[in-house]
Structure 1
Amino acid sequence: MTLTLYRLEGCPFCEFVVDELDDHGLEYDSVWVEGLHSKRNEVKKVSGQRQVPVLVDDELGVTMHQSARIMEHLRATYGGEDVEPGTAEPSF
């Protein structure tokens, strides 16, 4: 399994995703992005936009942004919980 998280230092939404990954014991690679929104070209290449966090799940061929959606994906796919898409509440 290969998970890659594009994240920004000091971003609380990125940290929510990191906590979720850690809670599930998932290994992942971190790609640290530029603080300036306009310089996040690497993020734009993989996701079509410059917002972080972005998770790339190579095993499932999924790329997504928005922390709540990412956390929902992690819970439903790797958490062993039966979570219906669109119903998971982020634990912020």
Structure 2
Amino acid sequence: MADITLYDLPGCPFCRMVRSKLDELGLEYDTIDVPRSHAARTEVQQVSGQTGVPVITDEAHGVEGMPESSDIIEYLEETYGENGA
């Protein structure tokens, strides 16, 4: 099990951007596919307090339920990019 978990909706362009950044950085991560219906996204809501995706958790750095693709990408670059890790 990887330290990073991505809550993902297949076909979501914002989720795709986060997956691309994770892959670009060579990071191992687990993916949890969320339902299309916001009302059924109870797991992502418990983790992040909202139902939008993408959301990541990163156990290695104490990140629990970070939303917003731009924030996630910035975090990944700062934490795992050339200047981070």
Which residue number in structure 1 is paired with residue 10 of structure 2? 9
TM-score (norm 1): 0.85
Percent identity over the alignment is: 49
Structure 1 runs (4+) greater than 3 angstroms displaced: none
Structure having the higher helix fraction is 2
> 2:44 matched to 1:43?
yes
1:1-92 correspondence to structure 2 within 5 Å? 2-63=3-64, 64-81=66-83
Deviation at 1:38, TM superposition (A): 1.1
TM-score (norm 2): 0.92
In structure 2, list runs of 5 or more residues that go unmatched: none
Counterpart residue identity of residue 74, structure 1:
L
In structure 1, list runs of 5 or more residues that go unmatched: 83-92
Matched residue pairs, number? 82
CA RMSD, Structure 1 to Structure 2 (Å):
1.1
